[in-house]
């Protein structure tokens, strides 16, 4: 088995580096660049039937921030620790044109041993089911069902969905998996107090993979204007989110107990972060903000870095899955360290 090969449900990826969707994946050039950069899978920018969701893209704004919350230049020279605050929107094409783009790039991806993944984001369930059936009829082998966008409370009513209740996740996933013969990967929100229960609900309802987890909403005041940066709240992402993602992955792994595979997303900036997500329980990990900010070489470098890491460890990528998650202990199981805490406080506090 090739060193980087991984499995998600019924499907095999040549490597676990997924080019996750954002604005850089809207045009043909971006999709082709991600495929040619060596991604194991490329996810199309999500679509649905909502015109307000498409209009949201026309009002989208983005800012790159350093660790002091100062805007920094956008581009390939940006530090990997750069964070992004943004307002986004859905794919601007109508559904038929979007599906044509999926089909043509599925063929291109197949020629590069890459999996092209269409993504439908929930607005109205009947419309989502109809779109999903057309995706299947077009011969595409998998569907991402996105019910975890961060924007539902801020967007126009009914434009997109952020599902935070397990029973609702189960209902929606079951409706989709009962209508489709192809695998369904369910993208979940991180705006929940219990992401593992959402993952379990998706798995019990037939989802072959749970994508953990969508970005959080944030609002940052600008000290000069004393108004919200970008004028409102936005999705907030960056390297800082990786420990949260890995925490949820580890808990989801324990909760699912093999019922479905996991895909990590949020905070992944390169190949070592892909390895960290896999150690936490993911079978693959997606990069979006890092690629949108610094370019498609991030994908190529991530694959190379992960390959070097596995080679140095004498392991295949699949061997990484869950090793850290399974070694994770509860606080009550940790040894006492006899006033160890005193080494980590200012001297005056003692």
pLDDT score, position 155? 75
What is the DSSP secondary structure assignment for residue 191, as one 8-state letter? -
Contact between 125 and 171 under an 8 Å Cβ cutoff? The reply is no
Query: pLDDT digits over 145-190, tens only?
Result: 999 988 877 777 877 888 899 999 999 999 999 999 999 999 999 9
Report residue 315's pLDDT band, with 50, 70 and 90 as the boundaries: very high
Is residue 296 predicted with pLDDT exceeding 70?
yes
Beta-strand ranges (E) seen in 158-204 are 184-189
Provide the token pair at 79: 């530090």
User: Among 29-33, 84-88, 200-204, which stretch is predicted with the lowest mean pLDDT?
Assistant: 84-88
> What pLDDT digit, counting tens, does each position of 100-114 carry?
999 999 999 999 999
Residue 24 has pLDDT above 80, yes or no: yes
**Cα separation of 173 and 71, whole Å?**
39
pLDDT band at residue 53 under the 50/70/90 scheme: confident
The answer to whether the beta carbons of residues 19 and 302 sit under 8 Å apart is no
pLDDT per position as a tens digit, 111-130: 999 999 999 999 999 999 99
Question: Rounded to an integer, what distance in angstroms lies between the CA atom of residue 249 and that of residue 314?
Answer: 24
**Confidence at 68, pLDDT banded by 50, 70, 90:** very high
Q: Indicate the domain borders of the chain.
A: 6-349
pLDDT at 185: 98
Instruction: Give the residue-averaged pLDDT of 316-322.
Output: 97
Q: What is the mean pLDDT of residues 131-152?
A: 94
How many residues would you count in the chain? 350
Rounded mean pLDDT of the chain? 95
> What pLDDT is recorded for position 151?
80
DSSP result, 270-334: SHHHHHHHHHTT-SEEEE-HHHHHH-THHHHHHHHHHHHHHHHHT--HHHHTTHHHHH---GGGS
Q: How far are the Cα atoms of 55, 170, 216 from residue 159, in angstroms, in the given order?
A: 10, 21, 18
Q: Higher model confidence: residue 150 or residue 324? A: 324
- Give the percent of the chain with pLDDT over 90: 90
List the end-to-end C-alpha distance of the chain, in Å, as a whole number: 56
**pTM of the predicted model, to two decimals?**
0.96
Residue 174 confidence (pLDDT): 98
Could you read off the pLDDT of 238-294 as tens digits, one per residue?
999 999 999 999 999 999 999 999 999 999 999 999 999 999 999 999 999 999 999
Contacts of 66 (CB under 8 A, 6+ apart): 72, 79, 81, 82, 83
The reported pLDDT for the residue numbered 154 is 79
> What superfamily would CATH give domain 6-349?
Aldolase class I (3.20.20.70)
- pLDDT at site 29: 98
Query: How far is it, in rounded angstroms, from Cα 67 to Cα 276?
Result: 22
């Amino acid at each position: 088995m090739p060193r980087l090969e991984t499995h998600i449900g019924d499907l095999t990826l040549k490597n676990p580096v997924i080019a996750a969707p954002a604005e850089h994946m809207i045009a043909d050039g971006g999709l082709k660049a991600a495929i040619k950069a060596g991604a194991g899978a490329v996810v199309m920018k999500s679509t649905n039937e909502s015109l307000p969701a498409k209009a949201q893209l026309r009002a989208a704004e983005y800012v790159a921030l350093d660790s002091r919350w100062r805007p920094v230049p956008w581009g390939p020279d940006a530090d990997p620790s750069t964070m992004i605050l943004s307002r986004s929107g859905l794919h601007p094409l109508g559904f038929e044109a979007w599906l044509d783009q999926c089909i043509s790039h599925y063929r291109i991806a197949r020629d590069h041993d890459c999996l092209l993944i269409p993504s439908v984001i929930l607005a109205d369930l009947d419309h989502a089911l109809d779109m999903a059936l057309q995706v299947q009829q077009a011969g595409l082998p998998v569907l991402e069902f996105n019910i975890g966008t961060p924007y539902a409370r801020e967007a126009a009513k009914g434009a997109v969905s952020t599902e935070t209740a397990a029973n609702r996740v189960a209902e929606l996933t079951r409706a989709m998996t009962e209508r489709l013969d192809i695998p369904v990967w369910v993208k979940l929100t991180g705006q929940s107090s219990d992401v593992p229960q959402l993952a379990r609900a998706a798995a019990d309802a037939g989802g072959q993979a749970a994508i953990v987890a969508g970005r959080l909403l944030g609002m940052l005041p600008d000290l000069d204007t004393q108004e919200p940066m970008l004028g409102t709240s936005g999705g907030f992402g960056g390297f800082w989110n990786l420990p949260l993602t890995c925490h949820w992955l580890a808990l989801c792994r324990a909760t699912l107990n093999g019922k479905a595979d996991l895909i990590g997303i949020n905070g992944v900036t390169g190949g070592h972060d892909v390895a960290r997500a896999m150690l936490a329980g993911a079978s693959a990990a997606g990069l979006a903000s890092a690629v949108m900010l610094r370019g498609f070489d991030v994908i190529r470098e991530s694959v190379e870095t992960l390959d070097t890491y596995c080679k140095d460890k004498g392991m295949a990528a699949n061997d990484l899955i869950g090793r850290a998650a399974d070694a994770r202990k509860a606080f009550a199981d940790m040894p006492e360290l006899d006033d160890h805490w005193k080494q980590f406080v200012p001297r005056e506090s003692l």
